[in-house]
Amino acid sequence: MGPKGDRPLLLTGFGPFDGVPNNPSAAVVGALEGSRVRGVPVVGVTLPVSYARARHALDRALVRHRPRARLHLGVAPLRRTINLERVARPGDIGGVLDIDGRAPVPAESPPQLTTGVNTSAVLRALAAANLPARVSRDAGRYLCNAVYGWSLASGPAVPTLFVHLPPVGARRGALTRWTVGGLTDAAMVVAQCLLEVG
C-alpha cells in the first residue's frame, strides 16, 4: 500500500442471523462499497455472524487494506436511534451461540477498550443532518462487541468506531421511519467525521 492518501476507509457490517434475516448493516455496506468519502475509497466487508469466521475476515481486511479509519456497523433490533458506541468489553461476551452453533472463546485483552473518536462531535454532525442519534456505552454481548474489541485492540491509533443501527421500519420521528437510505446517510456522516481526524 502506498502513502496515507491511498489507504481506504474500512466499512464492515454483518450478514443475517436468527431473527434478522435481512441485516440493514449489510445493506448499508453494499450501498457504500466502492464509493468515496472525502476522496477516500470505501472498502466494504460483510462479516458472517460467526466468531471464528468474522475474526478471520476482519484480520484479513486489516492486513490487506491497512485502513486509515474503521467504521463498523451492526443492527440493534430494539433501538430506535443511531447508537455511537464508546466502549467495547471483549471479556464480556454472552453465551449466545453464533450461526455456526459455537460459543465465543474468551479474549485475552483489557476488560474495556474505549474509542479515541470524539463521539460528541459525531453526534453533533448527525443532529445537523436531522439524523437522531445517541452515545452508548453498551455494545452488547454478541458479535458486535467482539468485533469492536478486536478492531480497537489491533490498532488504537486508527480512528475506529462501532455504530449500532436501528432496524429498517423503526420509527425515526413522529411521521417518519428508518429506511436503508436514511441509515446509509447516517453512515456517510459518521465516515466523514472519522476521516476528518484520520
Mean pLDDT rounded to a whole number for the chain? 92
Q: Say if residue 18 is exposed, middle or buried (CB neighbours under 10 Å; 0-12, 13-18, 19+).
A: exposed
CB 126 within 8 A of CB 190: yes
- Average pLDDT estimate for 158-171: 96
Give 47-79 pLDDT, tens digit per residue.
999 999 999 999 999 999 999 999 999 999 999
Instruction: State yes or no: is 164 an active-site residue.
Output: yes
Catalytic residue among 65, 72, 164, 193: 164
Instruction: State yes or no: is 85 an active-site residue.
Output: yes
Give 14-40 pLDDT, tens digit per residue.
999 999 999 999 999 999 999 999 999
**Can you give the pLDDT at residue 2?**
43
Q: Give domain 4-197's CATH superfamily.
A: Peptidase C15, pyroglutamyl peptidase I-like (3.40.630.20)
Q: What are phi and psi of 44, to 5 degrees?
A: -105, 140
Catalytic residue among 65, 72, 85, 193: 85
> Hey, what's the cell of 162?
462501532
Residues above pLDDT 90, as percent of the chain: 82
Q: How confident is the model at residue 88 (pLDDT cuts 50, 70, 90)?
A: very high
Classify each residue of 105-144 as buried b or exposed e, where b means 16 or more C-beta atoms within 10 Å of its C-beta: eebeeeeebebebebeebbebbeeeebbbeebeebbebbb
**Can you give the pLDDT at residue 5?**
57
Catalytic residue among 33, 56, 65, 144: 144
